[in-house]
Amino acid sequence: MLPTQDKIIAIVPAAGIGSRMGSELPKQYLLLDDQCILAHTLDRLLGHPQISQVIVALHPADEHFAALAQASHPKILTVTGGGERADSVLAALNRADEHAWALVHDAARPCLAADDIDRLLAARSEFPQGAILAMPVRDTMKRADPKGRIQTTVSRERLWHALTPQMFPVASLRSHLAAALSAGALITDEASAMEWAGEAPGLVVGRADNIKVTHPDDLRLARLFLTRANSALG
Ligand SMILES: Nc1ccn([C@@H]2O[C@H](COP(=O)(O)OP(=O)(O)OP(=O)(O)O)[C@@H](O)[C@H]2O)c(=O)n1
Ligand SMILES: C[C@](O)(CO)[C@H](O)COP(=O)(O)O
């Protein structure tokens, strides 16, 4: 079933606890200038003219989302997330129009730019199987041994950092993700579920400032990028 080219649903896994951030609050609710990380992320998606719905997967015990201004936006639908990110994404996919395209984007990536979304959406004709935003690796890559010493240098030839959004037809992503999880496959992004099913998603070069806020020092960088983006908008 080919998706209708014009219906785009954003899916935002936001049910994590942010353990690597080490904060009291789940990291998606940490303040970044004038609002929390999740609010910034939702604004980027809600503000894109081609995105008709945003499905947000929340932690079962989430007590913060309802207080966000974005919570009452007509495009927003919430679902209860699962134990892992992939479970949260599947829970959202189960509520999505099966004829649409899904754009899965981490709540923890608040600096997403509109031109990144535009570039990914434009790639549907080149990659009808789906595609992800990604960044070619720039540094020499090392694999460590168990004692934290260099074991080997990994070739960075055709090596990319996977980012989000990751864009796939709802029907095929839902089917492959459910099958991969049932098979016990390790799924850390949507593309790995599609790869598990034998697909070869496209790679679309994304911006370096589309960082995932994971550790405390990422907050300072995210603030810098948001401030720069806001001043560019005037
Ligand atoms: N069961 C989970 C786990 C994660 N996520 C979401 O997936 C995104 C990327 O995951 P990550 O950065 O790992 O967030 P956390 O799992 O919260 O962080 P940590 O691994 O440090 O606990 C985040 O927006 C997070 O909220 C989710 O929806 N459901
Ligand atoms: C989906 C992702 O952001 C792509 O790089 C990444 O896999 C998420 O990993 P996390 O450990 O769940 O943050």
For the stretch 208-222, pLDDT in tens is 999 999 999 999 999
Q: What is the CATH classification number for the domain harbouring 131?
A: 3.90.550.10
CB of 88 within 6 A of ligand 2: the answer is: no
Is this complex scored with an ipTM above 0.90?
yes
Half-sphere exposure of 72 (CA within 13 A, CB side): 3
Question: Which two three-digit tokens encode residue 166?
Answer: 């990751």
Query: Is 186 among the domain residues?
Result: yes
CB of 135 within 6 A of ligand 2: the answer is: no
Give yes or no for residue 4 having a pLDDT over 60.
Answer: no
Query: Is 148 among the domain residues?
Result: yes
188 Cα: distance to centroid of ligand 2 (angstroms): 6
| Max CA distance (Å), the chain | 52
What's CA 113's distance to the chain center, in Å? Answer: 13
What's CA 151's distance to the chain center, in Å? Answer: 31
Give yes or no for residue 169 having a pLDDT over 80.
Answer: yes
Average pLDDT, rounded, for the chain: 96
Mean pLDDT of 27-32: 97
**Number of domains within the chain:** 1
Query: Is 1 among the domain residues?
Result: no
pTM of structure: 0.96
Share of the chain above pLDDT 90, in %: 94
> H or E element: which one contains 77?
strand 76-80
Q: Which domain covers residue 202, as residue numbers?
A: 8-233
Query: Is 77 among the domain residues?
Result: yes
Query: Is 47 among the domain residues?
Result: yes
Q: Are 107 and 118 in contact (CB under 8 A)?
A: no
Query: Is 2 among the domain residues?
Result: no
CB of 190 within 6 A of ligand 2: the answer is: no
195 Cα: distance to centroid of ligand 2 (angstroms): 16
Query: Is 199 among the domain residues?
Result: yes
Query: Is 3 among the domain residues?
Result: no
